[in-house]
Structure 1
Amino acid sequence: MTVTLLGTGTSTGVPVIGCDCAVCASSDPRDARLRTSAHVVAHTEGGDVHLQIDAGPDFRQQALRHGVAAVDALVVTHEHFDHVVGLDDLRPLFFRNRAPIPVYTLPRTAEALHGMFRYIFDRTYPGASLLDLHPVDGPFSVSSRSLEHAAVEVTPLRAPHGSFEVLGLRIGAFAYLTDVGEVPGEVRAALAGVEVLVLDGLRPEPHPTHLTFTEAAEVAAAVGARETWLVHVTHSVTHAEADASLPAGVRLAYDGLVLEVAGTEA
């Protein structure tokens, strides 16, 4: 697999509008954080499968910056603005390929998305993205929209984000969990054997719905992943300083980071 972290920032993005703090004014490109999302390319025997994780307000910019030209399926972690408002920016992907793109998400989020984007999912506007909602209740397979025999298996992970659950995922030795306030024991067990983990880590200070750096490091140690990369980072965090303070095996992610992961089978 090749995983590109398109964005690693919190809901406001960094720099924050109207803020002149040291991070928002930083010249270090790693301190500029678009809203958190990722693009996974699974290299299977039948060809590449392209899986997009979330499509927030920065999706168009991210796709152009990193050459995202194909999406075979979209996983939506939850219905918050910073993860979903770019759904209609998928429209150009249908100009040459009219096959619908499945949207995998939890049933609650599917209902919310239908309400937010009724014109897309009810097919009431002919120019809208051709997206089909698929509520997730167990493992699912993502197939290529253009290659007959290319597919990859995805294991869903559910973890709390305040008062409700968000959807994470595992593909072989890779796992992705953003916007989580804790990682329950059953999810930690499901992460056994993961080599590369992308994990929520907002800041050092406590937050009611996100992991702190210390909490994320504890999860990483329990899971035993070779690499853990923290995302959804806020503007109080200077990349160079924070990254140097993290324990071995845990790193602060940044926009455009490319992760190579061996194997797509769990």
Structure 2
Amino acid sequence: MRVTLLGTGDTTGTPTVGCDCETCAEARRLGVERTRFSVHVENERTGESLLVDFSPDFRHQFLTREVPLPDAGIVTHIHFDHLDGLGNAYRLFDDLPVYAADETDPLTDESVAETVSRKYDYLDRVSVHSRSPLEPFAVCGLEVTLVPVDHPPLRCYGLAIEDPETGAKLSLSGDTSYGVPAESRAVLDDPDLLLADGIVPASLSEHHPRGGKHLDDDGVPRTFGQKHMTREGALALAADLSASRTRIVHTAHFYPAEEAFEEPLAVDGEVYEL
């Protein structure tokens, strides 16, 4: 299983358009980017590939990274930075199955699958397939399980992706606070690679109107506000799940420049063989 991190940034990416902060300036100096979130998973045994989330930076990502167009896709939730790149499917695919959760979200009165289907009903070559969380399904020769995470007010899902022949396992936390339910943690447990949402360092929680929550024994917030993990929260989740390797993704340009490109924060283009 080859995993390519196409997009490792938050909703504005790094560098952020029109921003001259030290972190964005350092990204330009280093020649690195964190575009909006997307992960490419290639099954080298079957020659098929799966795309997790459709970044608005889809075109740029596929023009700059040596990965094939996907044979299927998964949408974790309906925020634009994870979904709106699906419009790029126009004229690129003869057939593209897209998988998403079937649970109705009380906020939208639709499941993620229903929202994707409605929003992109004009893409007749895209077919949307509903799947129930916590129930594994096969796609691209891999076993995939959607798991509920905690990203209020919307329903959002993480993923476990396993190769049934080699046993290789990728887990994604999804956009989430540290409050990932126990049944989801059980599915995500013991990955070879964990991609964990860690939007900012915990030290910045004091600047959020809601502060932070899920404090550790030293009072350090594992959640920034209520929607995303801090760096410290992501690392705590990695320890909880006994992850062999962890990359922190969905990071914002609010990281101080001296911390923004240090381990284990990911940047676009990283490739992992599992």
Task: Say whether the fold is shared (TM-score over 0.5).
Answer: yes
Question: How far is the alpha carbon of 1:69 from its aligned partner?
Answer: 2.8
The residue type equivalent to 1:43 in the other structure is: E
Residue in 1 that maps onto 2:175: 179
Residue in 2 that maps onto 1:158: 148
Comparing 67-76 with 3-12, greater Cα deviation is found at: 67-76
Residue in 1 that maps onto 2:73: 74
Residue in 2 that maps onto 1:197: 194
Contact persistence 1:72–1:101 (CA under 8 A): yes
Structure 1 residue 22 and structure 2 residue 22: aligned? yes
Contact persistence 1:105–1:167 (CA under 8 A): no
Relative to structure 1, the CA distance from residue 40 to residue 239 in structure 2 (aligned partners, 3 Å threshold; closer, same or farther) is farther
Report matched runs for 1:118-157 at 5 Å.
118-120=121-123, 123=124, 130-137=125-132, 138-143=135-140, 151-157=141-147
Secondary structure of 1:111 counterpart: helix
Contact persistence 1:169–1:175 (CA under 8 A): yes
Residue in 1 that maps onto 2:108: none
Contact persistence 2:98–2:128 (CA under 8 A): yes
Relative to structure 1, the CA distance from residue 69 to residue 195 in structure 2 (aligned partners, 3 Å threshold; closer, same or farther) is closer
Partners of 1:14 and 1:101 lie apart in 2 by 29
Relative to structure 1, the CA distance from residue 177 to residue 92 in structure 2 (aligned partners, 3 Å threshold; closer, same or farther) is farther
The residue type equivalent to 2:150 in the other structure is: P
Report matched runs for 1:97-112 at 5 Å.
98=94, 100-107=95-102, 108-112=111-115
Partners of 2:138 and 2:66 lie apart in 1 by 24
The residue type equivalent to 1:190 in the other structure is: V
Structure 1 residue 188 and structure 2 residue 185: aligned? yes
Residue in 1 that maps onto 2:272: 259
Report matched runs for 1:87-102 at 5 Å.
87-94=86-93, 98=94, 100-102=95-97
Alignment RMSD (CA, Å): 1.8
Secondary structure of 1:34 counterpart: coil
Relative to structure 1, the CA distance from residue 141 to residue 239 in structure 2 (aligned partners, 3 Å threshold; closer, same or farther) is farther
Report matched runs for 1:44-59 at 5 Å.
44=45, 47-59=46-58
Residue in 2 that maps onto 1:215: 233
Secondary structure of 2:40 counterpart: strand
Question: How far is the alpha carbon of 1:229 from its aligned partner?
Answer: 0.6
The residue type equivalent to 1:212 in the other structure is: T
List alignment gaps of at least 5 residues for structure 2.
Answer: 103-110, 163-168, 205-223
Comparing 228-237 with 181-190, greater Cα deviation is found at: 181-190
Contact persistence 2:15–2:34 (CA under 8 A): yes
Contact persistence 1:72–1:142 (CA under 8 A): no
Contact persistence 2:15–2:24 (CA under 8 A): yes
Residue in 1 that maps onto 2:42: 41
Question: How far is the alpha carbon of 1:164 from its aligned partner?
Answer: 2.8
Residue in 1 that maps onto 2:220: none
Aligned residues: 234
Question: How far is the alpha carbon of 1:240 from its aligned partner?
Answer: 5.6
Relative to structure 1, the CA distance from residue 240 to residue 74 in structure 2 (aligned partners, 3 Å threshold; closer, same or farther) is farther
Partners of 1:152 and 1:39 lie apart in 2 by 13
TM-score between the two structures when normalised by the length of structure 2: 0.80
Question: How far is the alpha carbon of 1:80 from its aligned partner?
Answer: 0.7
Secondary structure of 1:141 counterpart: strand
Partners of 2:198 and 2:55 lie apart in 1 by 18
Structure 1 residue 114 and structure 2 residue 117: aligned? yes
Question: How far is the alpha carbon of 1:29 from its aligned partner?
Answer: 2.8
Question: How far is the alpha carbon of 1:163 from its aligned partner?
Answer: 2.2
TM-score between the two structures when normalised by the length of structure 1: 0.82
Report matched runs for 1:230-241 at 5 Å.
230-238=248-256, 241=259
Contact persistence 1:57–1:84 (CA under 8 A): yes
